[in-house]
A and B are shown apart, each in its own frame.
Chain A
């Protein structure tokens, strides 16, 4: 493999890795405020892509399609919490986790009825003539994905570190009862977490659609990889989630590059499962996880 080929693989790894990172971040937000692992997380990614496709078909410019998709799916996240999660508050976390599996099937079915079974395209955000960097030709969409992911991650950190609402969310994830004693509404924090989580994952879905299309069934695999990224980075650690996503994406791309036989791209999806197994056996707290690490 030549150096520019290597760069090519890295750049494609960063592209999908960013999406895993945003999905993993979505898992993290919900997990930190509720201890729920949301198995419908991938469906938010899928919905983001498909809503943007429809908006674009109806004539909305891409930036508008992007924003509408993110906002709409954010609202879906809020409704999801009200309909599926809130009623099971007293039944406990396990029941809530199980209901997310059911909800994921329901969302997928509705998506199939609306958008059909085909994989649908979305044009790249700014054309598809590659930019040559160090001999490797890189699609502009890669830069969009990387840049927007960076913006989202930084904005989220600023929200958690600088705003009173963000600090209230962190307080709730540390000690919900003490937070309530300070007048912070835990139920509103949970609602906010679901909305933000869905919106962030949807943003990932819109960004990846120009690269790999989107179909009603794509959410399951993306969700699983996002979950693997979480485990890799340490469940509950947002920095770990982002790093885990990028590492997973790059490892996948290099697997395709280095495996000598043709059709090795089919093995790419196995990387996430392999990582999941290895981490769970060898280092269950993840690469960056420590028991004392701050949640959120």
Chain B
């Protein structure tokens, strides 16, 4: 469904991605793990088109993503849940969700109200808070809203940038359970995470990214059992879920 080869991208003269090869199949969850600054977010931004200078090849179900605008990429069904959620804080929960369905305007999409019901079924907390300003939600609720907003766009491939960031372990587990259900219903995902353990427990395959390049690629089980991956990515972040908690 998504096929990327030799992707290079960066900011101004700084090259961050130095030749990335990556594929996501139908119904597949692929996770990218890597340290701070490895270029994981840049990779998702390059796919969505918010990083300017890109080169290489990037195909999504027959669409040449390199030649499409940010808006067109979203409309084609590649929808990102960005790092730090990036909600429309002063707008209400409901308005954030409505804007998620913006891409489907004038197309043969399902009615926004119907989709919103599905999102509320996945995240009942959001329905209780539908009139509240998005910026006043707790961290966990904000992440749910960010995912819900993306789902409103009827994605075919969901790009997720660190959905566990800053959340209590209980909330993280709940969100990942929901992601699994969405995947079982057929949604493909590209998941960027620092919490390698939980990412690999959800994903089918994983890539390890180091300084803008893919160093290792394997099945999720393979990476979970890889001593090197365990030493570098489990050791350092093992405490993250416990100490770095907030909201919920």
CA distance A294 to B89 in the complex (A): 9
Counting chain A residues whose Cβ lies within 8 A of the other chain, the interface size class is 10 to 19
Contact: B48 with A181, CB < 8 Å?
yes
Contact B74 A181 (CB under 8 A): yes
Q: Is the CB of B103 within 8 A of A183?
A: yes
Q: Count how many chain B residues have C-beta atoms less than 8 Å from C-beta atoms of the other chain.
A: 25
Given A180-B70, A183-B74, A164 and B102 contact (CB-CB distance below 8 Å)? yes
In the bound complex, residues from chain A placing their C-beta under 8 Å from that of B102 are: 164, 168, 182-184
**A183 contacts B88, CB within 8 Å?**
no
Check: A54 CB closer than 8 A to any chain B CB.
no
The interface residues of chain B lying within 8 Å CB-to-CB of A175 are 86-88
A68 CB, nearest partner CB in chain B, Å: 29
Q: B98 in the interface, Cβ–Cβ < 8 Å? A: yes
Instruction: Give Cα A180 to B149, complex, Å.
Output: 13
User: Which residue of A164, A178, A183 is within 8 Å of B86 (Cβ)?
Assistant: A178
Kindly count the residue-residue contacts between A and B in the assembled complex, taking CB atoms under 8 Å apart. Answer: 66
Chain A min CB distance to B195 (Å): 23
Q: Which residues of A contact B95 (CB under 8 A)?
A: 167, 170
Which residues of A sit under 8 angstroms from B82, Cβ to Cβ? 177-178, 181
Tell me if A185 is interfacial: C-beta within 8 Å of chain B. Answer: yes
Chain A 256-296, CB-CB to B under 8 Å as 1, else 0, gives 00000000000000000000000000000000000000110
Give complex CA distance A174, B50 in Å. 17
Cα A170 to Cα B102 in complex, Å, equals 13
- Check: B183 CB closer than 8 A to any chain A CB: no
Q: 8 Å CB contacts to A: which residues of B65-104?
A: 69-71, 74-75, 79-80, 82, 86-91, 95, 98-100, 102-103
Residues in A with CB closer than 8 Å to B70 are: 180-181
- Of A171, A175, A180, A182, which is in contact with the most chain B CB atoms at under 10 Å from its CB? A182
Q: Does A62 sit at the interface, judged by CB under 8 A?
A: no
Closest A residue to B49 using CB positions: A180
Chain B residues whose CB sits within 8 angstroms of the CB of A180 once the complex forms: 50, 70-71, 74
Q: Which residue of A lies closest to B103 (CB)?
A: A183
A179 within 8 A of B: yes
Question: For residue A177, which residues in chain B have a CB less than 8 angstroms away from its CB?
Answer: 50, 82, 86
Q: Measured between alpha carbons, how far is A171 from B86 in the docked complex, in Å?
A: 11
Establish whether residues B50 and A181, one from each chain, have CB atoms under 8 Å apart when the complex forms.
yes
When chains A and B are docked, how far (Å) is the Cα of A183 from the Cα of B91?
17
- A183 contacts B75, C-beta separation under 8 Å: yes
Residues of A within 8 Å of B87, CB to CB, are 175, 178
Task: Select from chain A the residue with minimum beta-carbon distance to B100.
Answer: A182
Decide if A183 touches B71 in the complex (CB within 8 Å): yes
A-B contact pairs, 18 of them (CB 8 A): A167-B95, A167-B98, A170-B90, A170-B95, A174-B91, A175-B88, A178-B88, A179-B99, A181-B50, A181-B70, A181-B80, A181-B86, A182-B79, A182-B102, A182-B103, A183-B71, A184-B71, A185-B71
Known: A171-B91, A182-B149. 12 other contacts (CB 8 A): A167-B99, A170-B88, A175-B87, A175-B88, A178-B82, A178-B86, A178-B87, A180-B71, A180-B74, A181-B74, A181-B79, A182-B74
Question: What residues of chain A have their CB less than 8 Å away from a CB belonging to chain B?
Answer: 164, 167-168, 170-171, 174-175, 177-185, 294-295
Q: Which residues of B contact A (CB under 8 A)?
A: 48, 50, 69-71, 74-75, 79-80, 82, 86-91, 95, 98-100, 102-103, 105, 149, 153
